[in-house]
Amino acid sequence: MEYLGEDVAVVNQEPYKKWFIKALPSRLEIVRRLILRKELDYSYESLYECFSFLKEHLVKRETTEEENLKLKEELPVYYRDSFEPQKYTILSPTYSIAYDIGIYWGEIMIRKFNKQWSIYEDEEAYKYGYPIIDLESKRHNVVFCPIWVMSITATKIAQDDSGLAAFKASVKTWDESFLNA
């Protein structure tokens, strides 16, 4: 059952969750062997090393005018006026690396804050079907979706719009959200 790269919003959630949990060790092994090339210490410093690896190995190509037109047409009508054409399209190897780094970031937060993975079940939300970590706060309803955040980070890198300082700020913001939950 292959889910990586598949649109998770169309898959039955329970089998996907079982697959995801079962795949965690092998995905973390990729981070250990390919990206960090050392034992995982579940620290923010190692996460920053992962970011640098992603930035250095990002695979992209220029987006065609036809692709941008298709993207715009897929948007709800009320968003189309604010659509900005994408200069680059990120290719699958980059999303796979971002996925694995997102898992690693999630595991860092799980260990640090004693949380666990779940699958986002609100069908109306953009995060539907994504693996998440719930902050379980009485004050606000916030879920952390590290795989989605890393996908967005990869997009920002492709647009030359994200450096290590910005990534560290994002990590700090999420850390504070967990601390204040």
Instruction: Return the higher-pLDDT residue of 108 and 121.
Output: 108
- Measuring CA to CA, which residue among 16, 30, 15 is closest to residue 130? 16
How many angstroms separate the Cα of 8 from the Cα of each of 2, 121, 173, 174?
Answer: 11, 11, 26, 24
Predicted TM-score (pTM) of this structure: 0.84
Residues 6+ apart with CB under 8 A from 171: 44, 47, 48, 105
User: Under a CB-based contact definition with an 8 Å cutoff, are residues 131 and 99 in contact?
Assistant: no
Instruction: Return the pLDDT at 102.
Output: 97
pLDDT digits (tens, 9 = 90+) for 123-156: 777 677 889 998 776 566 778 999 999 999 999 9
- Measuring CA to CA, which residue among 72, 18, 30 is closest to residue 54? 30
| Residue range 4-22: mean pLDDT, rounded | 70
Which sequence spans correspond to the domains of the chain?
8-179
Residue 169, burial from CB neighbour count under 10 angstroms (0-12, 13-18, 19+): exposed
How many angstroms separate the Cα of 172 from the Cα of each of 133, 155, 163, 175?
Answer: 16, 20, 14, 5
Q: Does position 2 have pLDDT exceeding 50, yes or no?
A: no
User: Under a CB-based contact definition with an 8 Å cutoff, are residues 129 and 13 in contact?
Assistant: yes
The number of CA neighbours under 13 Å toward the Cβ of 45 is 4
User: Under a CB-based contact definition with an 8 Å cutoff, are residues 16 and 70 in contact?
Assistant: no
61: phi then psi, degrees, rounded to nearest 5:
-145, 160
Among the residue ranges 79-88, 94-103, 162-171, the one predicted with the least confidence is 79-88
Q: Does position 104 have pLDDT exceeding 70, yes or no?
A: yes
Q: How does 61-83 read in b/e, with b if 16+ C-beta sit within 10 Å?
A: eebeeeebeeeeeeeeeeeeeee
